Chains A and B, each alone.
Chain A
Amino acid sequence: MNIDLLFKIAGIGILVSVLNMVLTKAGREDQAMLTTLTGLIIVLMIVINEIGTLFSTVKSVFKL
């Protein structure tokens, strides 16, 4: 239950939305789309470790 992770993910979300806005205003829709995709992938990479930890904990606690 670490709050740093939430901060990290929310920060990436805000950064990506700002970048998306700037790139869309500058008329570079393709790069804006790629930025969105990259942000989503980074966030998923962060959260997938946590999900793996949760599943291994459940496996060991409930003797699955």
Chain B
Amino acid sequence: MSKKNNLQPYVVTSLILLIAGVLSIAVGSVFISPRTVIDVIFSAIRGEVSTLDPNGVYLQIITDLRIPHAVLLILAGAALAASGSAYQGLFRNPLADPYLIGVSSGAGLGAVAAMMVRWPYTPLGLMVIPAAAFAGGIITVLIVAQLARVGKTVPTTNLILAGVAASAFASALTSALMINSTGELRRALVWMMGGSTQTGWGPVWGILPYMVVGLSGLVIIGHPLNVLQFGDEQAQQLGIRVQRVRWYTIGLATLSTAAAVAYTGIIGFLGLVVPHIVRLIWGGDYRRLIPVSMLGGAGLLLIMDVIARSVIAPQEVPVGIVTALLGGPFFLWVLKRSKSQNYW
């Protein structure tokens, strides 16, 4: 909001994202050193064959497996962190997050239901799961908002209580579905814990249209969210159409969350931790908070994923377990530290 156009947050988070990206491409069942990664990529851009990769094996691993995996995680991390900040701003609640209001579980239910059918591995077929996830997420949000509504307003406490209940309900339904589908169980279980099970570019193309709409929409709602921090009444008195902003935010954040959940599963804490760190360091202006959280969330999820793929290599831990293991304690530390600071 300040007129000084401060680029520092963008530069720092972009650098983190860049380093994490190279690391993510380097680490895997075959380790490719970062120097080789960079050389192979730049050679390919120039249309040459890298001297470090005369047979083009690394190039193939990088372009067919590692880059699409990294892009998928970048999109998911950006979406979860941006949705988290948007929900926090909308509900004026530091604990708001795609989980709290039941969106993630609802989207998960939609995705699992769609997974019961083997959709063709085409761009259109791959768009079905995110669409089902979005449908599940939106239906959950609508039910939750309806349950929590008092007259024309939706008090935060009601919303969160209804969200927790809906979340539990959706999770139970998801488990029931999964238990009844013996063959797909392990895959779905890994997915539930936040592990991407599909490889290649397919999932990326499947969620890209949703991500483009969701993320670009979230970037431009910073100003109304800033005004909403003063409460619905003052926001309306300042000329904000509160109901419209509310539904717009819910729709975009839910779309982004659903797209993230569709192929990377349920990844916790990112939507909570990233916006809080950004807020602590660079302040709470939503016009900056949302885009910077996107960059930070993308970088952080890549780093978490590198850890998930290397701690007990060659086996992989679902990244959602790593984010919860590291994110939980870190979040407690942030909470304790932030008590004395005026950042929320």
Q: Are these two chains actual partners, yes or no? A: no
Q: Which residues of B contact A (CB under 8 A)?
A: none
Q: Which residues of A contact B (CB under 8 A)?
A: none
